[in-house]
Structure formats: structure tokens, C-alpha cells
Amino acid sequence: MSVDCTFCDIVSGVIPTEHLASDPFGVVVADIHPQAPTHLLIIPKLHIRSLAEVTEAEWPTIGRVLGLAARAAHACGLDQSGYRTVINSGLNAGQTVDHLHIHLLAGRPMLWPPG
């Protein structure tokens, strides 16, 4: 847990946000500014600033959080229609919250290449 981190506060409940799903490694919440009909955030409980800062010991946690994303997509019935998962890392990617998270977007066709 890190002070002054929005996502640590969402994980701990300091910022009241419905946890749509959770496991020992992460929580799933709806994005506050959805960019698609379904826009979920899968947030590791561990405060890791970005994919660029994951340590060797933390990789298993990232794998478990990716698994949580797949289970959330399955629970939302998205396996057939498809969905996009995104991890923004750093400035050029547009990361705005410095606590690693996976975006799960679905409910409309996604463009490629992304903007």
C-alpha cells in the first residue's frame, strides 16, 4: 500500500467503490470514465507503479491478476464477442494512475492500431 494512491485507496476501501470481483491478488472495478460499454479495471492489491517496475518476485502476482481479468471477462459473458485488455505504462502510453492496472474494454468493435 502506498500513501496518496487512488488505486490503493480503492483496494482498501478508503475510496468507496464496488468491487465487482476480487481474489487474494486483485480487485475488479468499473472505470469511472468508461471508454466502451464495458470498461473494467483489474487492479493488483500490491502497489506496483507500472509494468516497467515489476520485480522478479512480483511476476506471479501479475499472472494471477491477468487470470482475474480473464475470469471477469468470462463472468460478463465476453468470451464469444471478444474484449481488449490494455496496460498503459508510462508517459507515451498515457498512464495517469501510477499503480499498475489492466483495462478490460468490450461491447463495441475495437480499432487497430490504437490511437
* Contact footprint for ligand 5GP (CB under 6 A): 6, 15, 17, 29-33, 41, 88, 94-97
Q: Under the criterion CB under 5 A, does residue 12 sit at the interface with Zn ion?
A: no
Q: Give the alpha-carbon dihedral of 50, 90, 28, 77, to 10 degrees.
A: -120
CB of 9 to Zn ion, least distance (A): 8
Percent helix, strand, coil in the chain, to 5, is: 25, 20, 55
Q: Which of 36, 39, 45, 47 binds Zn ion (CB under 5 A)?
A: 47
Integer Cα distance of 81 and 95 in angstroms: 27
From 33, 39, 47, 101, the catalytic residue: 101
Does 99 qualify as catalytic in the annotation? no
Residues classed as catalytic:
101
